[in-house]
Amino acid sequence: GNSVTQMEGPVTLSEEAFLTINCTYTATGYPSLFWYVQYPGEGLQLLLKATKADDKGSNKGFEATYRKETTSFHLEKGSVQVSDSAVYFCALRKRDGNNRLAFGKGNQVVVIP
């Protein structure tokens, strides 16, 4: 079935460090891929998305490229800020006619000043 795997565990890094969060997926066909961010005490916000292979989604300095050959959609940011501290969820849209999302487990990112 369709599923998303995110790397285990929280990510703690210093301000201005480079951030990578790994996301791999299993799906039939060509799902749309998303990164959502959840700041403390808030709902999910769409961070970026890609709908086909080799698409690069980008927003607020974050980027992710839809890699069909490695079934990956890793999130990167070149220089993180304290305000980037949040939980990041990778998700794919199942093309089942119901627009369901399959979420990864999420990664807590903590940026230390």
Does residue 7 touch other proteins according to CB under 8 A? no
Report in angstroms how near the CB of residue 64 gets to other proteins at its nearest.
Answer: 14
Site string for other proteins, 16-55 (x = CB under 8 A): ----------------x-x-x-----xxxxx--x-x----
Query: Is 41 or 113 the residue whose CB approaches other proteins more closely?
Result: 41
User: For residues 19 and 15, what is the distance between their CA atoms, to the nearest angstrom?
Assistant: 10
Report in angstroms how near the CB of residue 31 gets to other proteins at its nearest.
Answer: 11
| Residue 83, SS3 per DSSP | helix
Taking a C-beta distance cutoff of 8 angstroms, is the pair 64, 9 a contact?
no
User: For residues 60 and 71, what is the distance between their CA atoms, to the nearest angstrom?
Assistant: 24
Query: Is 19 or 47 the residue whose CB approaches other proteins more closely?
Result: 47
Strand 11-14 versus strand 107-112 pairing type: parallel
